[in-house]
Amino acid sequence: MEIRQFVTQIYSSNITIVEKNNHILIIDSGLEPEKLKTIVGNKKVDGILLTHGHYDHCAYCNEYAEMFNTKIYASKHIKETMSDKVALYSEQDITFTNFERFIFIDEDCKIKIGEFEVECYLCQGHSKCSECYIIDKTLFSGDVLFKKSFGRYDLKGSNKEELLESINKIEKLDFDDVYCGHGEKSNKDEQLNNFVIYKRFLTRNRNN
Ligand SMILES: [Zn+2]
């Protein structure tokens, strides 16, 4: 399995291209479709996977699905976020109304998308529809975890306690490398060291 990440123009989010036997799985959709087309070339796109419904991660999902004639896989909670102009956080205040190409994922399950076996874990806290995915022991953490920090929890649909629960959940999962929604890649050892600090921060209140 080969993994490449590209930084988009929308809040510098990452788009991740996972490749196996000439088949491609696209994780998130903030890169302009023409640029993605050049990257994909004539390889087969098996599907589009969304880590969550913030605009910098879902912007062009319908254009990609149309272009590659494929489906979009995302949390069953994503529709609520993408149809709400505040929760979507697009600079143009747009909302999404077309979900025809979506396949909604149930809480914590395994799905097969073409060549790819994907473990899906609902990890709320940064958003109501945040999903972390594991493919061949590689974690795709979206905006839940970054190399040296965790996702914001002050947005519409965010929740500090839920983020803490998600970090506890991820800690128990089996993975090696971590590809994040923004910034550089990381790995489990680095994350396990960070988790101690994250948990201390997330359980702290004004008095301690
Ligand atoms: Zn986000």
Q: What is the pLDDT of residues 9-61, one digit of tens each?
A: 999 999 999 999 999 999 999 999 999 999 999 999 999 999 999 999 999 99
Distance 64 CA to ligand 1 centre (A): 19
* pLDDT at 207 (0 to 100): 63
State yes or no: pLDDT of 206 exceeds 90. no
CA of 78 from ligand 1 middle (Å) equals 12
pLDDT digits (tens, 9 = 90+) for 170-179: 999 999 999 9
| Distance (Å) from CA 162 to ligand 1 centroid | 15
Ligand 1 centre distance from Cα of residue 50 (Å): 11
Position 78 scores a pLDDT of 98
Pick the CATH number of 2-203 from 3.40.50.300, 3.60.15.10, 3.40.50.2300, 3.40.50.450: 3.60.15.10
Cα-to-centroid distance, 121 and ligand 1 (Å):
16
The whole-angstrom separation of Cα 29 and Cα 49 is 9
Identify the pLDDT of residue 93: 86
Q: Is the per-residue pLDDT at 208 higher than 60?
A: no
Q: Cα 55–58–62 angle (5° rounding)?
A: 125
Query: What pLDDT band is residue 205 in, cutting at 50, 70 and 90?
Result: confident
Integer Cα distance of 196 and 192 in angstroms: 7
Give the distance (Å) from ligand 1 centre to CA of residue 109.
22
